[in-house]
Amino acid sequence: MTSETPVLREMRWWDIEPVLELEKELFPDDAWSRGMFWSELAHARGPGASRRYVAAVDGERIVGYAGLAAVGGLGDIQTIAVAREQWGTGLGSALLTDLLRHATAFECTEVLLEVRVDNERAQKLYERFGFEPIGFRRGYYQPGNVDALVMRLTDPASAPATPSASASVEETPVQGTETHG
């Protein structure tokens, strides 16, 4: 870890390998595959973009990432991950703030997510942003057969901005509002 503040920037294809390393470290039993990340990033650019993927970079190292899918006024947080040494620094809040800002730009009126029922740290983060539990998905996380708590945020535009985010944001056009090459 460096002494720099992590910078948030758009995730690109060359980030997939370091993201996979962090993914496998944090989620060894149900890590996403390389193909899943490629598929998501394929929908993150261009005039029909429906995804936002962001990487948090500390020096040369990716220390977090997050993704949002948006379709028909509904946002779905696909993933948020923060390296263990960054826990408690506000980086998770910064990543979530970025996704909610983009959900608003995608004109989402509500945002959903699934979180492991045993991940109380993440649940508390989402609750601070106004997400409320609405149900369960039994056996959602495989192969461990762990249930997911489904949470919803209505009106992401009114979600609180992160007061203690420890990341700066590279200003790039919001996905879905401009054509990207």
pLDDT in tens, 31-87: 999 999 999 999 999 889 999 999 999 999 999 999 999 999 999 999 999 999 999
Asked if residue 78 is part of any domain, the answer here is yes
Domain that holds residue 54: 7-159
Asked if residue 41 is part of any domain, the answer here is yes
- CB–CB of 73/109 below 8 Å? yes
Asked if residue 132 is part of any domain, the answer here is yes
**pLDDT value of residue 176:** 38
Asked if residue 131 is part of any domain, the answer here is yes
Number of domains, the chain: 1
Asked if residue 92 is part of any domain, the answer here is yes
Q: What is the DSSP string of the chain?
A: --SSPPEEEE--GGGHHHHHHHHHHH-TTTPPPHHHHHHHHHTSSSTT--EEEEEEEETTEEEEEEEEEEETTEEEEEEEEE-GGGTTTTHHHHHHHHHHHHHHHTT-SEEEEEEETT-HHHHHHHHHTT-EEEEEEEEEETTTTEEEEEEEEE-GGGSPPPTT---EE---PPTTTS---
Asked if residue 164 is part of any domain, the answer here is no
**pLDDT value of residue 161:** 66
What's the CATH code of the domain at 25? Answer: 3.40.630.30
Asked if residue 174 is part of any domain, the answer here is no
Characterize the bridge pairing of strands 74-82 and 51-58: unpaired
Q: What is the pTM of this model?
A: 0.86
CB contact set of 39 (below 8 Å; sequence gap of 6+): none
